[in-house]
Amino acid sequence: MTRPSTPSDTIRLTGITATGYHGVFDFEKREGQIFTVDAELSLDFRAAGRSDSLGDTVSYVGIAELIEAGITGDPFDLIEALADHLARDILRTDDRLMGAEITVHKPQAPLTQSFSDVAVVARRTRADLESSGAPEWLVDPESLVDPESLVDTERLVDPQRAPSQEVHAVLALGSNLGDSAATLGSAVAALNESEAVRVVAQSPLALTAPVGGPEGQPDFLNQVIQVATRLSPYGLLELTQSVEQAHHRARGAANGEIRWGPRTLDIDIITYGGSQVSTPVLQIPHPRAAQRGFVLVPWSWMDPQATLEGYLVAELAATAADAADVRRADAADVPDAADVPDAANVPDAAAERETGARS
């Protein structure tokens, strides 16, 4: 009997380049630099060779978009971590992919020596994604994050799978362009009007000094809200980005956006129940939430007993470097209540906790 042959076909993408903010130094995360990614994917596309049908192979368009999102998304300290996460995330997109070799180039690495490039290569196969006997709605923890960084492997969820019941999530909103108070009110109303999301608590508005980004930009108005949702983590991310877009947010350097620069609207997912997600496009809990006073302070106003990774949010807020620059917005910063859609219909966190609805 003839043995099945090992996949010997390859899809190769070379030189996908974008600006990212990966690195261990603060200036790397603040100023950004160019990263280039090469991908070599192993599969068997003999069926596509015979049929000439896209359905019989893996579309490299989606792979290229995923790589670009990984470069421009939430920053990693190490390019080794970026390469590993890209390789695993690509393999999860299609069962026909048997292996992925990802090379991440960092040609502007902070070295004093003369050099042309720094690069790392991650080689992963489907064996790296095999299940370890977890419930079917969980993915293999190793396929999402470095196991040494996990608090509880049971908390890792498939970001594409919707929950069987409502999950409570915490979102942080910010704006410093246009009528920011009206924008935040409109954004909260838009989220509340979604069929799969209901707002269950919201903080007072906070006036905060910008953290990072270009000098001279206006102060931000920030707010933290709690929602109950039946959306998957990726579904919630898609909704928040659509609300941003509806409020004239243009994402990415290609649209003139500056890292940590002025925003008409920014919505970050801080927590999703007690779950963890770690992919190139989404990390939950938000990796920098525990250091951000402009998130922690209004969150503690909304819910004094809230916790983040086992720590009281109020205690984290007290130690945040920018906490002193966060204050409640006064009447001059906030429009008349009638101008904030549905704000009066949102209960406070204490009332929500009394009903036992807190996740």
- Secondary structure (3-state) at 346: coil
Angle at which helices 79-93 and 60-72 cross, to 10°: 150
- Secondary structure (3-state) at 299: helix
CA neighbor of 333 nearest in space, from 156, 182, 120: 182
Q: Is the dihedral of CA 160, 166, 167, 170 positive or negative?
A: positive
Catalytic pick among 106, 249, 286, 292? 106
C-alpha dist (Å) from residue 115 to 21, 22, 24, 67: 20, 19, 19, 25
CA neighbor of 10 nearest in space, from 37, 67, 48: 48
Helix ranges, 199-287 (H): 233-246
Q: What is the DSSP string of 83-135?
A: HHHHHHHHHHH-TT--EEEEEEE-TT-S-SS--S--EEEEEEEGGGG---S--
CB neighbour burial string for 76-104, b if at least 16 within 10 angstroms, e if fewer: beebebbbbbbbbbbbbbeebbbbbbbbb
Asked about 29 being catalytic, the answer comes back as no
* Residues belonging to the active site: 106
